[in-house]
Structure formats: C-alpha cells, structure tokens
Amino acid sequence: MQKKRLLITRRLPDEAEARARRDYDVVQNADDHQMTTDEIMEKAKDVDAIMITITDKMPKAAIDRIPEHIKILSTYSIGFDHIDLKAAAERGIKVGNAPHGVTLATAEIAILLLLGAARRAGEGERMLRSKSWPGWAPLQLVGQRLDGKRLGIFGFGKIGRALAKFARGFDMDIHYHDIMRAKPEDEQGATYHETLDGLLSVSQFFSINAPATEQTRYFFNKSAIEKMPHGAIVVNTARGDLVNDNDLIAALKTGRIGAAGLDVFNGEPKINEGYYDLPNTFLLPHLGSAAIEARNQMGFEALDNIDAGFAGKKMPFALN
C-alpha cells in the first residue's frame, strides 16, 4: 500500500524522524530553515498531512490557504497559540499537539533559571569569559539561597506541578494560583491562592507557567510588580508575551525586581534590547524542551495524532 505523504516543516531528532519515515513518505525541510507560509503551502499541495512547529504561524489567513484535501494538522509543541483553531475547525481540519514530552525538561529549566538568577550565574560566567575575574573575594557576586523562600507558581498544570516537586528538594515553600484549585494529591502541601494578586504578594520567587490567553497576555506588568515583595526574583518558561518587557526592565534597573531568569521572550529571536546590558538577568534561548528525551517524545506524540487522523480515530492529543 502506498504510504501517505507527510510534510514536516523542521528537522526532528533522529528517532522521531526514523519513525516518521517508517510510516510515511516524508517531505522534509532539508536545511532546517524557517519556512515561510508560502513555502509551506507550496509543499502542502502534494502531501496528505502537515506537522508544524511553534514558529510556524497559522492564523486564519494561513489556515484558509491549506489545500482542501488536507484535514490533519499536528503541531510539534505543547503550545497552540500559533494556530487559529476556530478557523481550522471551520475547514474541517483536525488539529493536535504534543503536550506531555516537555513537562520535566521545562521544569528543569525553570529550576536552572531560579538558581542562575538567585546565584548570579550569568554575571559570573560573563566575568570569566571576558577574562576579568580578579579572584575570590568575600563580597563578590553574593546572591541568595533558595531554601526557606516562598516560590509562587502561576499556572499549576503539569509543568507547574513538576517545578513544585523539584523546588521542594531545595526546601522552598510552594504557593500557587490557577483557575481551579488542584487536587490534594497534586498540591502536596502547596498553598493555594484564590487570586493572582494574593500569590504575587507573598512570592519572593515567582515562576510564570501559565498559557498565553487574552486574559494572561502582558499580565506581568508594573501593576503586578508593585504587588510583589521588594527584590523578588521572577522566572519565565511559558510564553514571552505574558510579560510587559519595558515594565520588567524598568523594575530590574531600580532593583524593585531583584533578578530575572528568562527562557522565552516576546518577539523572539529578536528580543527587547533592554535585556542585553542588565547584569541581573539570566537569559536562555528558549531551551525549555531542549532535552533529547523531550524532543523525541514530542515527535512521537505529534505523529500519534497523525496516525489516528489517518485511521479515522480521534487524535489522542486533539485540540479541536
């Protein structure tokens, strides 16, 4: 039987690509460049399904250009804010994501950001790489420990709960806010706050783990910052557009926010220029899911959706 043709818009880890080639006639982005919408639609003329990534924007204008015969779209990401799901549903296109592979890897990066920001790791590395380290001194790059500190987690889904588990290993006091209170077995003693303001008011450390929605975009602004303890440390592994960059940069400059650890940015890879020269930032280039185990699982989950779609079954990770 002739294999179905699958367009994959970026290169994937070897194991994920091997499975895709085993089951499908894969149309690949050989040099792994960021494909334009025009390029995707041109290649889509001769395939049966499309696997995209978080950087492939699919607003209504793009969805409406998908060839009529294609009814399966799977994204190699947990996030789906780059896809107009309503437009896809109107076209009869089933959409799925890859929600589980990223959990532990992203929570690990959140811990790395907490440690890096609190212990001034970025400053230390820059000092060494610029060959300007004068040697040990009692007051050199003095930061703070994590133990006994209150960690506020905004968004207590799988990643937020995994972060809480890791943070307990550092003896942090876990607090959280989400739309719904978690089950006691998921809370594991964490303190629930009914309002975000209540969480902000106690958060000596604050981790952003919420999805980007109309309600959450740019929530972390001057107003939110003013509700936090002076000198609090904030980390973000969720989405860059949850943060008002200008307000955070201003607070970092004055010390109102003591330090920030950021893995995601609004407009990435072109980020706000104000971050580059701030010594009290620990910055990473969207490494949240960049562990081989996570990236392979993401590929498998995205392919599971495509397999189910062709089999006439409900996608295991369906979004519409």
Catalytic residues: 239, 268, 286
d(CA 143, CA 146): 10
The answer to whether 252 and 280 are in contact (CB under 8 A) is yes
User: Cα–Cα distance between 26 and 41 in angstroms, integer?
Assistant: 15
Alpha-carbon distance 124 to 107, whole Å? 23
| Residue 173, H or E segment | strand 173-177
What span, in angstroms and rounded, lies between the C-alpha atoms of 88 and 75?
Answer: 13
Q: Which two tokens stand for residue 239?
A: 């989405």
Residue 26 β-bridge partners: 6
Q: What is the spatial distance between Cα 56 and Cα 66, in angstroms, rounded to a whole number?
A: 13
Strand, helix or coil at 198? helix
CA distance 172 to 60: 44
d(CA 118, CA 142): 9
Sign, CA dihedral 7-9-10-16, equals negative
